[in-house]
Amino acid sequence: MKKFLLTALAAAFISGMLSSCSGGVSTQISESSGKYVLAEGETDSLEIEIQVEYPVSGLTQPAMDNITKTLTTSLFGDQYAAMQPEEAIDAYISGSVDEYRKDNLPLLEMSKDMPHASLSWSDYITGAVAGSHGDILSYTMTKYAYTGGAHGMTSETALNFDMKTGSLLTEGDFFKEGYKEKLPALLSGHLASSLENPADTSMLFTREIGPNGNFQVTEEGVTYIYNQYEIAPYAMGIIRVTLPWDELEGLY
């Protein structure tokens, strides 16, 4: 497959060690970035930036293998689950470039003799350890995609792992029975102070929020993530509400 690279960094991997990043776990970062033109001689392109962190020590091998497989699947898709991180990134980029050209080359041909709207897309993926608490390791992945239109979309998803087994933990695994009845009041109580400007509560779709399964653990407490349009307009971005550990006594 011809990629028609615009930047020398495209498909280049950079790996670095981060010692004891969280809970005694060391990680490695794999990066790749580049612009891939729609067709030779054209300026429209797909820009891809990927920076993802994987555990490399501080856990048993089975636990690391489980976490790596889950991260690769969550970051790039089920079809890449059996691949090593660098292999998965390269395959994901190749597949994304193919899809970009398949979708946009016919539009380029149709408008060959007349001005056309930009056919440039963007695809950014980052993944990093967010924190830990006890035997739980939290990881956050952020994805931004622009495929035309008024604006792109950003989503942030937290994944929580049992460091002993590498198993993915759900909200129900972490909290004790009854948390669904108690967390809404705590989350709603911290909502205004979580905003950059507390007065922006007037823009929210609702001021009564509850657990949505998208949470991470850190030294400070449990942070719930509400993505764009989930509880507020696009302009307010992603909203994160942190519940301190002392307020969660008896709930986990």
Q: Which amino acid is at 94?
A: S
* pLDDT score recorded for residue 150: 83
Of 91 and 40, the one with more pLDDT: 91
* pLDDT score recorded for residue 17: 44
Taking alpha carbons only, the member of 108, 114, 91 closest to residue 38 is 108
* pLDDT score recorded for residue 56: 95
- Residues 139/158, Cβ–Cβ less than 8 Å: yes
d(C-alpha 10, C-alpha 14), whole Å: 11
Residues 16-20 have a mean pLDDT of 44
pLDDT tens per residue across span 96-135: 999 999 999 998 888 776 656 689 999 999 999 999 999 9
Q: In this model, does residue 205 exceed pLDDT 90? A: yes
pLDDT tens per residue across span 209-226: 999 999 999 999 999 999
Show contacts of 165-168: CB within 8 Å, 24+ apart. Answer: 165/62, 165/63, 165/66, 166/59, 166/60, 166/62, 166/63, 166/64, 166/65, 166/66, 166/67, 166/70, 167/66, 168/70
Of 82 and 150, the one with more pLDDT: 82
Q: Please state the pTM of the whole predicted model.
A: 0.88
Q: Tell me which CATH homologous superfamily contains domain 171-247.
A: Heat-shock cognate protein, ATPase (3.90.640.20)
Cα 248–chain centre separation? 26
Number of Cβ within a 10 Å radius of residue 237: 14
Q: In this model, does residue 8 exceed pLDDT 50? A: no
* pLDDT score recorded for residue 104: 93
Q: Tell me which CATH homologous superfamily contains domain 14-169.
A: Fervidobacterium nodosum Rt17-B1 like (3.30.565.40)
Taking alpha carbons only, the member of 229, 239, 226 closest to residue 196 is 239
Q: In this model, does residue 13 exceed pLDDT 80? A: no
For the chain, the structural domain boundaries read 14-169, 171-247
Kindly state the percentage of the chain with pLDDT values over 90: 79
* pLDDT score recorded for residue 41: 87
- Mean pLDDT over all residues of the chain? 90
- Residues 157/213, Cβ–Cβ less than 8 Å: no
pLDDT tens per residue across span 155-170: 999 999 999 999 999 9
Task: Give the burial string for 93-125 (b: 16+ CB within 10 Å, else e).
Answer: beebbeebbeebeeeeeeeeeeeeeebbbebbb
Of the pLDDT bands very low, low, confident and very high (cuts 50, 70, 90), residue 5 is: low
d(C-alpha 60, C-alpha 65), whole Å: 9
